[in-house]
């Protein structure tokens, strides 16, 4: 297991990376970084604008740069975008610089959680269920390979998922790094 003082949350869209990340970062006294927010700050453009003007490949370049910047620090919790694991270089950087937590969610739960969301460029289609299923087929093996700890968030509300993560991190990651949950 990685003894880094950093945490990285990976997983599908709607798994809770951002909402749980904020809560867990606060509990362990870590600086929280939402990678999509950092990408927007560094590029001066929204995620949707980057996709529109540069396409997914151009966006992924910005994503890799932002991830590298975020993980230069110590004592951070980075909530990645769902596709950050697609790059081998990103996966290597995460594995080297952080303890990686895989938050899993089923396609059924994703559809429910994202039913009103109109901000995610890759989901702006009529066949959302198929898009999410296709993403799962491609990305789930990468999440499972990279994650040192996995929590299925389907069955939990955010407060319960946070409690579960804090307990699991205290048992697996906390003993390596020493942060004290608050």
Mean pLDDT of 159-182: 76
Question: pLDDT tens digits for 140-159?
Answer: 999 999 999 999 999 899 99
Residues of the binding site for substrate = 36, 60, 139
- Within 10 angstroms of residue 165's Cβ, the number of other Cβ atoms is 27
| Residue 182 belongs to some domain of the structure | no
Residues of the binding site = 14-19, 36, 60, 120, 139
| Residue 26 belongs to some domain of the structure | yes
CATH (domain of 128)? 3.40.50.300
Mean pLDDT of 94-113: 91
Question: pLDDT tens digits for 106-146?
Answer: 988 887 877 676 666 556 666 878 888 998 999 999 999 99
The domain of 73 spans 7-172
Judge if pTM exceeds 0.75: yes
| Residue 180 belongs to some domain of the structure | no
Mean pLDDT of 70-79: 96
Residues of the binding site for Mg(2+) = 18
| Residue 59 belongs to some domain of the structure | yes
| Residue 14 belongs to some domain of the structure | yes
Q: Give, to the nearest 10 degrees, the angle between helix 17-28 and helix 158-172.
A: 50
Residue 160, token pair as written in the block: 């319960």
Strand blocks (E) in 4-141:
7-10, 31-34, 76-79, 99-104
- Within 10 angstroms of residue 89's Cβ, the number of other Cβ atoms is 10
Confidence at residue 23, expressed as pLDDT on a 0 to 100 scale: 96
Confidence at residue 182, expressed as pLDDT on a 0 to 100 scale: 52
CB-facing half-sphere around the CA of 164: CA atoms within 13 A: 17
How many structural domains is the chain composed of?
Answer: 1
Q: How far apart are the first and last CA of the chain?
A: 23
Kindly state the helix (H) or strand (E) to which residue 112 belongs, with its residue range: helix 107-113
Residues of the binding site for ATP = 14-19, 120
């Amino acid at each position: 297991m990685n003894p880094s003082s950093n945490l990285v949350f990976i997983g599908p869209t709607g798994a809770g990376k951002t909402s749980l990340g904020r809560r867990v970062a606060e509990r362990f006294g870590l600086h929280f970084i939402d990678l999509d927010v950092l990408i927007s700050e560094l590029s001066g453009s929204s995620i949707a604008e980057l996709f529109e003007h540069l396409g997914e490949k151009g966006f992924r370049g910005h994503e890799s740069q932002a991830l590298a910047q975020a993980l230069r620090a110590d004592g951070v919790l980075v909530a990645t975008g769902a596709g950050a694991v697609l790059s081998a270089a990103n996966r290597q950087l995460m594995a080297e610089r952080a303890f990686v937590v895989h938050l899993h969610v089923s396609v059924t739960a994703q559809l429910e959680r994202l039913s009103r969301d109109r901000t995610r460029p890759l989901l702006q289609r009529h066949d959302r269920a198929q898009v999410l299923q296709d993403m799962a087929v491609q990305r789930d093996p990468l999440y499972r390979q990279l994650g040192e700890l996995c929590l299925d968030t389907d069955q939990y509300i955010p407060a319960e998922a946070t409690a579960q993560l804090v307990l699991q991190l205290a048992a697996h990651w906390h003993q390596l790094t020493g942060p004290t949950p608050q």
